[in-house]
Structure 1
Amino acid sequence: MDYRPLNIDDAEQFLKFNIEMGKSGYMLYAPGERKMSVEEQQQLIHKITEDPASNLLIGEEEGGITGFIMMKGNELERNRHSAYFALGVKEESRGQGIGKELLRQAFKWAREKGVSRLELTVRKDNKTAIHMYKQMGFKIEGEKVHSLKIGGEYLNEYYMYKLLK
C-alpha cells in the first residue's frame, strides 16, 4: 500500500472513487448526488493542494485508490491550530489498517503545520468508524442532533476531536 498526496492527474480516478464511496451511505453525498465533471474535480484538487492549510492524501494499491483523508486547516490566528478532516475507505478495503495509516499521515502533516487539534464528524450509527477513531485517540465532544436526513429519517452525528502533543 502506498500513501501519497492527491494530484491533478488523479482527478478522474478520484471522482470515480468518490462516486463509489457515496454508495456506502456514510459519506455526506447521497448515492448519485455527486455530479461533477473531471474538470471540476481537477479545480477542486487544485484548490485544496494550493491551500497551505489543507491537504488531501490517498491510499493506493495496484493503481487504484483505496482510501483518502482530507485535512482542512484554518488561516486565522485564533483557530489555525485546528483542522477538520474527512476520511473514507472503500468497503472492500476496510479492516486492513488503511484508515489508521491515513490518520497517522494526517497526524504527521498536522504536527508539521503546527496543528494541535483535529476535528471530525461521524454518523452516530457508524460504530466501526467510531471504534477506529477512539483507538486512534479521538474523543466524543458532543452530538449534532438531526444533522442528516437520509431516507426521510433524521440521523445524529458525533463531533470528535483529538489533541496532538
Structure 2
Amino acid sequence: MRINHQEFFANDLSYIVRSATEGDAKNLSEVRLQCDGETENLDREKGEAYIDESGFQQIIKNDTESSCNLFLVAEVNNRIVGFSRCEGNKLKRMSHKVEFGVCVLEEYWGYGIGKNLLKESINWADTNEIKKMTLSVLETNEKAINLYKKYGFEVEGILKNDKILSDGNYYNTILMGRFNE
C-alpha cells in the first residue's frame, strides 16, 4: 500500500515521509545495516539477518501490492535516514492487525522522524480499517515506550530475559498494542 508524501520541519531540518519505492532498495540495505550497529534497541547486531538490495526490492514490491502492509521511508536531501514497516497477515483470524517496526539513523534522532513515521502509520491503519497495531520494544528504551503510550499503545505483556546485550545482562522485551475500535 502507498501513502501521499508528507513534509516535516524540525530543528532546522526539513524531511519527507513517503512510501518506499523499489529504487530505494540499495539505500535501505545500507541504512538498516548502519542502524543495527548504532543501537542495541533493535533485535539484530550489525550484519545479522542482512537484507541486500534485491531482498529489499522484493519486500517493497510485496508491501506496495499488499493492502495490509505499509513501508515508509524518511528522506533528507534525497537520502533515506530512517524507515518503518507495518506488516499485516493474510490469515483471516489475524487480518485485522499489523506489526509496526521503526529504525532511524542515530545522526537524525531528535527531529521527530520516528514519531512522524509512527503517526503516518497510525493514520494509514486507522483509515484502512486495521483495528490493531502491535510492536515490541526493549525495556530500556524509555523514550520509545513513552512515545508509543502517547499515541495510544498499551503494554500487553512482557517477555522476561528476552534479549542479551553487550553488557552480558538479560533484558525484557515489552509487547505493546494499540486497538482502534
Match of 1:161 in 2: 177
Which ranges in structure 1 are unaligned for 5 or more consecutive residues? none
Gaps of 5+ in 2: 1-14
Aligned length in residues? 165
Q: RMSD of the TM alignment (CA)?
A: 1.6
Question: How far apart are the structure 2 equivalents of 1:37 and 1:57?
Answer: 18
SS at match of 2:67: coil
**C-alpha displacement of 1:34:** 4.1
How far residue 69 of structure 1 moved from its aligned partner, in angstroms, is 1.3
Give 1:136 deviation, angstroms: 1.7
The answer for the alignment partner of 2:103 in structure 1 is 88
Q: 1:5 maps to what in 2?
A: 19
For each residue in 1:19-78, what CA deviation from the matched residue of structure 2 results, as whole angstroms up to 9, or x when unmatched?
111012222221222433322222232233232211100111111112211001122332
In the alignment, is residue 69 of structure 1 matched against residue 84 of structure 2?
A: yes
Equivalent residue letter for 1:143: I
Shift in alpha-carbon separation, 1:49–1:28, aligned structure 2, 3 A: farther
Structure 1 segments of 4+ aligned residues over 4 angstroms from their partners: none
Distance in 1 of aligned mates of 2:94 and 2:59? 23
Higher alpha-carbon deviation: 115-124 or 37-46: 37-46
Contact 1:72 1:83 in 2 (8 A): yes
> For the residues of structure 1 that align with 2:74 and 2:175, how far apart are their CA atoms?
25
Find the counterpart in structure 2 of residue 37 from structure 1.
52
Match for residue 28 of structure 1 among 43, 64, 68: 43
1:132 is aligned to 2:147: yes
Which residue identity does 2:26 align to in structure 1? E
For the 8 Å contact 1:19–1:34, the answer to whether it is kept is: no
Shift of 1:113: 2.1
In the superposition, the TM-score normalised over structure 2's length comes to 0.83
Q: Distance in 2 between matches of 1:61 and 1:77?
A: 38
% identical aligned pairs = 29
Q: 2: CA distance between counterparts of 1:119 and 1:33?
A: 23
Say which SS state the counterpart of residue 78 (structure 1) adopts.
Answer: helix
Quick one: distance in 2 between partners of 1:147 and 1:135?
25
The two structures have a TM-score, normalised by structure 1, of 0.91
Structure 2: which amino acid aligns with 1:158?
A: I
